Chains A and B, each alone.
Chain A
């Protein structure tokens, strides 16, 4: 493991080289496929690799360049797509037995926009089944391994996308984030992962988990790459009524200009005793880095931080139990055999029980329970009341500061099989769930490393900002990145 420094040029610079013919899309695809060939058997980032299709797409872009046409702002940029985002290319499985052979009849809005910009899809990435998990161990198709230490998890649920970016299998990737599923794996794999404000990105074609929490976002090797990908696919969509009717923000023009007078809030609760010592050290280093860049550090309080997980594990399963009711074995997906005398009820229950893994079963049942008669007020309604208080707490914090800084995860990557108690796994997301509960944007970027038994493990820091403050948030992240340039496994 000799990590190589990465120069943060983003994705449009790559596309510019493709458009001028300095490099061909075909050569770029061949490079990625060679890396996949060499390392994928150990990493297992992908559920499917689109080798032939990616070569054909690259040839079309090169032909376009040869004819003097413009193949787009992301021409020849190679993307991996989390396998819960609908693509007409290949299957869309959600890493579930239930959808093992499901072929989407349409492309998600984000996919349509990225293909129109000239991006090339290299494959569909592994995830915790239906995005329920923090380690990618809940996949029905096997665990993804962390490119920095293959005995450890990549985080989750978008572990395949994070691992693919860090391993150099692609230029960038898409994930989805319901409670930290982009930011936590980005932290554990040492890349950049960005969850936009709820409503910024169309969810059309994202298989629904928690509809008031889910958001699609980018993974890239640098902040600029995330910003460029975000700009290419964000914006309102006729096919998703929860997209905000706002202009696409300009996140790029001033990205490299440090923000003068930036106020960085550090919540007292984020300096928790529960943080691993390495994480606590990297947080204080990041605070020092912002100070040296001229930012003002502000002490703030978010006392509801530690009820976030309890709130989330009522709201998210409640929404999931409703969303996953569509998987009934009738129109698509797994249909179980039933015996003579059995009918539709048995068909539903058997198909679902055979198709879903244990964590999905657990969350559907938890959600059904908290919504059931007699428990709705004590659990679901109360969680929604706490949700408003969490949002108000963020609003008060953002009256004192521009962004909030803290660890993305209380620990670096843990060992595969290391967390068997569900609640211990849920606590991985203590710093990320409240972002979704409040609907605000959050980004994780690498800010340092831990050394454990000879392995170098990346540690990410998270920045959160007010709703729809993406341009400012990305610029603040770029400042930290310039002080702590990322490295990637060679």
Chain B
């Protein structure tokens, strides 16, 4: 891991992967701040981690399963309480498929 200077093209690619669309001014500001942060993060390469098992979580936990029983759920009007757009009992979204389907 060496000093990491991102290009504008890199930043646009990361934005696309992140489902974000920053404007040109924001892209340049992100390029500069992300490059600087990655430069600081490079310090991680100074730590000897040979043979160390990665630790994703502080607790040694395994998945806990509930009993397979139905319980109370939110009423549909509560589920739709915050919907930006709805039609009857459904969330409205932009058309995903072309006419005739795909």
Residues of A within 8 A of B (CB): 101-103, 105-106, 198-199, 212, 238, 241-242, 244, 304, 306-307, 309-311, 313-314, 321, 325, 328-335, 338, 342-350, 352-353, 356, 358, 361-362, 364-366, 368-369, 372, 378-379, 381-389, 391, 421-423, 426, 438-440, 467
**Chain B residue nearest in CB terms to A440:** B58
Cα distance A401–B34 when bound, in Å?
A: 39
Given A343-B96, A381-B54, A241 and B61 touching (CB < 8 A)? yes
Tell yes or no: B56 within 8 A of A by CB: yes
Cα distance A365–B18 when bound, in Å?
A: 6
Q: Are B49 and A335 in contact (CB under 8 A)?
A: no
In the A-B complex, the 8 residue pairs with the smallest Cβ-Cβ separation, listed nearest first, are A439-B58, A332-B82, A384-B54, A335-B84, A388-B55, A385-B49, A349-B21, A105-B78
Cα distance A334–B83 when bound, in Å?
A: 9
Given A365-B11, A365-B15, A379 and B59 touching (CB < 8 A)? no
Q: Are B66 and A313 in contact (CB under 8 A)?
A: no
Q: Are A242 and B37 in contact (CB under 8 A)?
A: no
Q: Are B82 and A331 in contact (CB under 8 A)?
A: yes
Cα distance A314–B45 when bound, in Å?
A: 13
Cα distance A81–B39 when bound, in Å?
A: 37
Please report the total number of B residues contacting A with Cβ < 8 Å.
52
Q: Which one, B33, B44, B53, B93, contacts A382 given CB within 8 A?
A: B44
Tell yes or no: B70 within 8 A of A by CB: no
**Given known contacts A309-B40, A362-B34, A385-B52, what 5 new A-B pairs fall within 8 Å (CB)?**
A106-B74, A310-B41, A332-B81, A426-B37, A440-B58
**Using a Cβ cutoff of 8 Å, how many contacts connect chains A and B?**
168
Tell yes or no: B29 within 8 A of A by CB: yes
Q: Are A361 and B22 in contact (CB under 8 A)?
A: yes
Q: Are B64 and A241 in contact (CB under 8 A)?
A: yes
* Min distance, Cβ A231 to any Cβ of chain B, angstroms: 21
Q: Are B91 and A330 in contact (CB under 8 A)?
A: yes
Q: Which one, B37, B55, B57, contacts A423 given CB within 8 A?
A: B37
Given A307-B43, A358-B26, A102 and B82 touching (CB < 8 A)? yes
Given A362-B30, A381-B54, A353 and B21 touching (CB < 8 A)? yes
Residues of B within 8 Å of A348, CB to CB, are: 19
Residues of A within 8 Å of B20, CB to CB, are: 349, 352-353, 356, 361, 364-365
Q: Which one, A212, A330, A381, contacts B93 given CB within 8 A?
A: A330
* Min distance, Cβ A240 to any Cβ of chain B, angstroms: 10
Residues of A within 8 Å of B43, CB to CB, are: 306-307, 310
Cα distance A244–B49 when bound, in Å?
A: 29
Residues of B within 8 Å of A356, CB to CB, are: 20
Q: What are 12 of the A-B contact pairs (CB < 8 Å)?
A: A103-B82, A241-B63, A307-B44, A310-B44, A313-B37, A314-B44, A321-B18, A362-B33, A368-B17, A369-B34, A382-B47, A385-B49
Tell yes or no: B7 within 8 A of A by CB: no
Cα distance A309–B44 when bound, in Å?
A: 10
* Min distance, Cβ A121 to any Cβ of chain B, angstroms: 19
Q: Which of B1, B66, B84, B85 has the most CB of A within 10 A?
A: B84
* Min distance, Cβ B81 to any Cβ of chain A, angstroms: 6
Cα distance A422–B84 when bound, in Å?
A: 33
Q: Are B93 and A304 in contact (CB under 8 A)?
A: no
**Chain B residue nearest in CB terms to A325:** B19
Q: Which one, B1, B44, B54, B95, contacts A388 given CB within 8 A?
A: B54
* Min distance, Cβ A331 to any Cβ of chain B, angstroms: 6
Cα distance A387–B66 when bound, in Å?
A: 30
Residues of B within 8 Å of A328, CB to CB, are: 19
Q: Are B44 and A379 in contact (CB under 8 A)?
A: yes
Q: Are A365 and B78 in contact (CB under 8 A)?
A: no
Q: Are B44 and A198 in contact (CB under 8 A)?
A: no
Residues of A within 8 Å of B17, CB to CB, are: 368, 372
* Min distance, Cβ B69 to any Cβ of chain A, angstroms: 12
Residues of A within 8 Å of B19, CB to CB, are: 325, 328, 345, 348-349, 352
Residues of B within 8 Å of A344, CB to CB, are: 93-94, 96
Residues of B within 8 Å of A242, CB to CB, are: 57, 59, 61
Cα distance A97–B54 when bound, in Å?
A: 36
**Chain B residue nearest in CB terms to A372:** B17
Cα distance A133–B96 when bound, in Å?
A: 37
* Min distance, Cβ A217 to any Cβ of chain B, angstroms: 15
Q: Which one, A199, A345, A346, A365, contacts B58 given CB within 8 A?
A: A199
* Min distance, Cβ B3 to any Cβ of chain A, angstroms: 13
Q: Are B14 and A372 in contact (CB under 8 A)?
A: yes
Given A387-B55, A389-B52, A467-B58, A105 and B64 touching (CB < 8 A)? no
* Min distance, Cβ B11 to any Cβ of chain A, angstroms: 7
Cα distance A358–B20 when bound, in Å?
A: 12
Residues of A within 8 Å of B18, CB to CB, are: 321, 352, 364-365, 368
Residues of B within 8 Å of A358, CB to CB, are: 26, 29
Q: Are A199 and B59 in contact (CB under 8 A)?
A: yes
B:6-28 near A, CB below 8 Å? 11, 14-15, 17-22, 26
**Chain A residue nearest in CB terms to B16:** A349
